[in-house]
């Protein structure tokens, strides 16, 4: 195949659209993260750019984000994303293994479809479902009261636990699907060969199945970890004001606090973290030569 102009022509509309409405906005946001804000949430003009840069004031918002209050929020975002990812991995692997390897081939499309549906259905509504279940007048409290296990409704909502449940519930399909994709490609005769060579089941799992499906495992980790880190809806609805994550912090700066430069700085810190992770992932896939995710 030779280079041709048709390719450029076909890609041009997308380049233009994403260039103007995606890359340019990101660039502007980046610049704003170094700007000064005025009292009303707008930007304050900078008179002498040289002096402004020399004063180091342009890093003010990044410096502010290192304040313990915010570090605590970042730390919470991080550990919640880690816990969500780990729980999703542990819960998903046997299920994905069942769908891909154990279940009858004829039933596989249905089992897979049942994972795909929540994958695409409204995250908001799926989060709301937990709000409905966990709230003070919700199903769980009602059952507990009826069973006489508690005398007053428990405060199940608006805490870290509720947020974790929501995150795990929301992200689970994003772990099962890449695991399935990897397990489905696994040559079953490898498992048989391992057994034939005398490996007990646990050893086959550890020495054959897991290494062979590593690309799917890594892809699943990325697919779950990245959105968890930037999560906003779950923490807002199930965590209330108590469990604030990085996503809520950004949103607050734009919607309530009206401190766009600070919001932009935090947004870029989050983006940097995500891109770093994806860069590591890209390196990993290049080394492995296979890519389940992209």
Partner 1 sequence: MRGRGGLLGAYAALVYLFLYAPIAILVVFSFNRARQTAVWEGGTTEWYRSLAKNDLILAALKNSLIVGGVATLIATVLGTLVALALGRHTFRGEGFTRQLLYLPVIIPEIVLGAALVTFFGALAFRLSLLTVVIAHVVFCVSYVAIVVRARLAGFDRSLEEAALDLGARPAQTFFRVTLPLLAPGIVAGALLSFTISIDDYVITSFVAGVGSTTLPLQIYSMLKVGVTPEVNAVSTLILAVTVVLIAVAQRLQRRPAEREETS
CA 260 vs CA 20, 88, 156, 202, 279: distances in Å: 21, 34, 34, 53, 28
Compare residues 72 and 109 and give the one whose CB is closer to partner 1: 109
Compare residues 133 and 214 and give the one whose CB is closer to partner 1: 133
Residue pair 154/141 in contact by the 8 Å Cβ criterion: yes
Compare residues 66 and 94 and give the one whose CB is closer to partner 1: 94
Compare residues 55 and 121 and give the one whose CB is closer to partner 1: 121
Segment 31-34 long-range contacts (CB within 8 Å, at least 24 positions apart): 32/260, 32/261, 32/264, 33/61, 33/62, 33/261, 33/264, 33/265, 33/267, 33/268, 34/58, 34/59, 34/61, 34/261
Compare residues 167 and 270 and give the one whose CB is closer to partner 1: 270
Minimum gap (Å) between residue 284 Cβ and partner 1: 15
Minimum gap (Å) between residue 61 Cβ and partner 1: 13
Q: How far apart are CA 186 and CA 173, in angstroms?
A: 20
Minimum gap (Å) between residue 19 Cβ and partner 1: 8
For 184-198, give one letter per residue: b (16+ CB within 10 A) or e: eebeeeebeebeeee
Minimum gap (Å) between residue 54 Cβ and partner 1: 25
Residue pair 219/226 in contact by the 8 Å Cβ criterion: no
Q: How far apart are CA 184 and CA 178, in angstroms?
A: 10
Compare residues 51 and 79 and give the one whose CB is closer to partner 1: 79
Minimum gap (Å) between residue 8 Cβ and partner 1: 5
Minimum gap (Å) between residue 160 Cβ and partner 1: 19
∠ Cα 214 182 226 (to 5°): 65
Q: How far apart are CA 104 and CA 262, in angstroms?
A: 54
Minimum gap (Å) between residue 12 Cβ and partner 1: 8
Compare residues 21 and 47 and give the one whose CB is closer to partner 1: 21
Compare residues 51 and 193 and give the one whose CB is closer to partner 1: 193
Helix or strand or coil: residue 44? strand
Minimum gap (Å) between residue 238 Cβ and partner 1: 11
Give the residue from 4, 80, 16, 24 showing the smallest Cα distance to 238: 80
């Amino acid at each position: 195949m030779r280079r041709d102009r048709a390719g450029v022509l076909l890609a041009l509309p997308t380049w233009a659209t994403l260039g103007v409405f995606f890359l340019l906005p990101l660039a502007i946001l980046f610049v704003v993260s170094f700007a000064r804000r005025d009292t009303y949430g707008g930007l304050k003009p900078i008179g002498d750019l040289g002096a402004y840069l020399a004063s180091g004031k342009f890093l003010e918002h990044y410096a502010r984000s290192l304040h313990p209050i915010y570090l605590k929020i970042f730390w919470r975002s991080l550990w919640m994303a880690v816990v969500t990812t780990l729980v999703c991995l542990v819960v998903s692997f046997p299920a994905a293994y069942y769908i891909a390897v154990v279940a009858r081939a004829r039933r596989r499309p249905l089992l897979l479809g049942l994972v795909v549906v929540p994958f695409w259905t409204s995250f908001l509504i799926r989060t709301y479902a937990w709000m409905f279940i966990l709230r003070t007048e919700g199903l769980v409290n009602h059952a507990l009261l009826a069973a006489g296990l508690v005398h007053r409704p428990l405060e199940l909502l608006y805490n870290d636990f509720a947020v974790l449940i929501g995150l795990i519930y929301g992200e689970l399909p994003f772990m099962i699907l890449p695991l399935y994709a990897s397990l489905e490609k696994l040559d079953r005769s490898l498992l048989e060969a391992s057994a034939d060579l005398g490996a007990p089941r646990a050893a086959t799992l550890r020495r054959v199945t897991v290494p062979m499906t590593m690309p799917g495992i890594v892809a699943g980790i990325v697919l779950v970890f990245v959105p968890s880190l930037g999560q906003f809806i779950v923490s807002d609805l199930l965590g209330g004001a108590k469990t604030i994550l990085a996503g809520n912090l950004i949103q607050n700066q734009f919607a309530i606090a009206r401190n766009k430069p600070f919001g932009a700085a935090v947004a870029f810190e989050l983006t940097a973290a995500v891109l770093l992770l994806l860069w590591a992932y890209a390196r990993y896939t290049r080394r492995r030569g296979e890519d389940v995710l992209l």
